[in-house]
Structure 1
């Protein structure tokens, strides 16, 4: 076999593999892609970091984290951009998934009280008998309010917890009086507070506030995938993680205004100035490098165990719920 023929054969095989590889679509669902807690995903896409990876990735959006989890379990998607607590609750049900990169170290959310109820609800205890809005039953917002209510001496079943979604749906539920309070993220928080339509009862955007409430870092937004898929698609996972790490680095090295300039105008909800201010005030929620915050998994497990009966008597191996491997080996 001549050298030229060997060379042509090698090139042919390489190109053939590349075409086949490029044709493998990876679907990832985001629990509300317009939410600032998930900003690194859209930012990485806008900056071309995913395109650089050579992967064929499609991002779907579902504003309810529990729906995103269901899509993952059905096999219709390969990953979820959602909250880390799902990896623990799923393990309790015998489903092994893990966070391959941690995007935030706080929930990035706040408990809001509607303007009309501000005088009657000045503490978590006063949520008793009230209607409270969450994105969905079984969602991370539902997890947090149930834990905080119980911590304040109020049984969660004493609160009328309603699934109202996020964004405009959440705002409408509050404005129409269907809920007197609720938990949401940016830019919804600032849209309501800047217009004087709601006040913040409890802030979970900052690091200090989060540690005061939960007793430590509370890892939230992440990319979680089935452990089996991660094992058999290590190269793809690595490339996705690299793109998201680049986005996290961009957030650390650029102003809120510069970051916002990269986002689609539709994300601003017709108020870019407010969007920029909201991001400026909550940028610290993002991790610097994508690593799981030390002690974070233990904090989340404690929160879940305090009220979630599905975890009672269950052994949870936290080492199977996350990995820093793809962060520690970026190449």
Structure 2
């Protein structure tokens, strides 16, 4: 073989070797996708949140819609229950890691030995109303009638029971409690199936349209103080089991980070924009609009925190209503360290 041919052959061999090395060291996008078709999803940590779907937990839903949970590395699934105590039982049974409900059932369960940690609040007070049909002019007119307040042990039930008791009626003997879904209460009131009901305060427009009579509106400061003794009642909360908080603090922090970011976002944006983002969370619910957000603004938390004053108010109410047998110290059920850490990072 001539010298020239040897040089050419050697040059071709070098090219072939280099091409092979490059091929081994780099994969095409198609090859990467084929080996890991769900790369992003596999990196997210799956968590389940048990809930009763309501605008009262608005920032949690916004965190999901705005993509904040995914940015924190979480894939969140919401599982909706009929009432708060049922959602709470689902969490303690291991069906979910987080639960959204009112704090009264959490405190009641703690009093019975079932320990949880409340990590944040989405509202600062109780945006509840008690609405009746037009012929009912006072609480005493409810004696012998059918009313609705959710299931026993729930916050709405305790709210209605306290109203009855304040006017001398026995909640167990003087009225009949209807078994309904929360979403069916207005229609039941309008049709005469019931004559009084707990209604969320954001439904004032619907109540006016049906001619309902608002006997008690807890969003009015004087009414709130009469019922609860304070302006603060931060009982619309997110909780985890004590065991989960101790074993998974990083996941709890990621969840809290996302919600705190959503609280900041909802505070800085208009009612129209907040309603636009929240609407997909409530399919078929035309009442999710700027007017609803306007009604809710005075109750929305701007920091997710739970004050000791608010906790003590809730404890006093639960003691008065017989939900718990003795006071529960703030630090035994509430852990605001996650919220504080989030605000250090994002505010």
Report the equivalent of 2:324. 311
Mean CA deviation greater in 210-219 or 50-59: 210-219
TM norm structure 1: 0.84
- Contact 2:129/2:198 (CA < 8 Å) preserved in 1? yes
How big is the shift at 1:302? Answer: 1.2
Structure possessing the higher radius of gyration over alpha carbons: 2
Residue matched to 2:49: 28
Give the drift of 1:126: 2.7
C-alpha offsets along residues 149-208 of structure 1, whole Å, 9 cap, x if unaligned?
2222222111212231212x2223223322101002155x23532423423211123555
1:274-326 CA deviation, whole Å, 9 max, x = no partner?
73212202211111100003411111111111122x623x4523321111111
Paired residue for 1:173, among 184, 188, 193?
A: 188
Deviation readout 1:93-122 (Å, 9 max, x if unpaired) = 1001121011111122211112xxx23x22
The answer to whether the 8 Å contact 1:22/1:56 transfers is no
User: Counterparts of 2:50 and 2:333 in 1: how far apart (Å)?
Assistant: 19
Measured in 2, the distance between the counterparts of 1:149 and 1:155 equals: 7
Contact 2:319 2:327 in 1 (8 A): no
The answer as to 2:265 corresponding to 1:250 is: yes
Which of 82, 92, 97 is the equivalent residue of 1:73? 92
User: Where does the alignment leave 5 or more consecutive residues of structure 2 unmatched?
Assistant: 1-38
The equivalent residue for 1:278 is 292
1:122 aligns with 2:137: yes
Structure-2 change in CA distance of 1:57 and 1:283 (3 Å): same
Query: Within 1, Cα distance between the matches of 2:170 and 2:43?
Result: 51
Structure 1 residues 86, 256: closer, same or farther in 2, change over 3 A? same
Return the alpha-carbon distance in structure 2 between the equivalents of residues 270 and 327 of structure 1.
31
Question: CA 1:126–1:219 in structure 2 vs 1: closer, same or farther (change >3 Å)?
Answer: farther
Q: Which residue of 2 aligns with 1:97?
A: 116
Aligned residue number for residue 88 of structure 1? 107
Aligned match of 1:292 in 306, 318, 321? 306
Unaligned runs of 5+ in 1: 1-17
Q: 1:22 to 1:150 in 2, by over 3 A?
A: farther
Q: What is the aligned residue count? A: 304
Q: Matched residue of 1:137: which SS?
A: coil
> In angstroms, what is the RMSD of aligned CA positions?
2.5
Please say if 1:164 is aligned against 2:183. no
Task: Determine which structure has greater relative contact order: mean sequence separation of CA pairs < 8 Å that are 6+ residues apart, divided by chain length.
Answer: 1
SS in 1 for 2:113: coil
Whole-Å separation in 2 of the counterparts to 1:209 and 1:246: 32
Instruction: Report SS of the residue matched to 1:262.
Output: helix
Partners of 1:265 and 1:241 in 2: CA distance: 22
The answer to whether the 8 Å contact 1:30/1:68 transfers is yes
In the alignment, does 2:344 pair up with 1:324?
A: no
Per mean C-alpha deviation after superposition, the further-off stretch among 277-286 and 90-99 is 277-286
The aligned counterpart of 2:213 is 199
Is 1:65–1:139's contact at 8 Å kept on the other side of the alignment? yes
Distance in 1 separating the partners of 2:221 and 2:47: 33
In the TM superposition, residue 37 of structure 1 has moved relative to its aligned partner by: 0.8
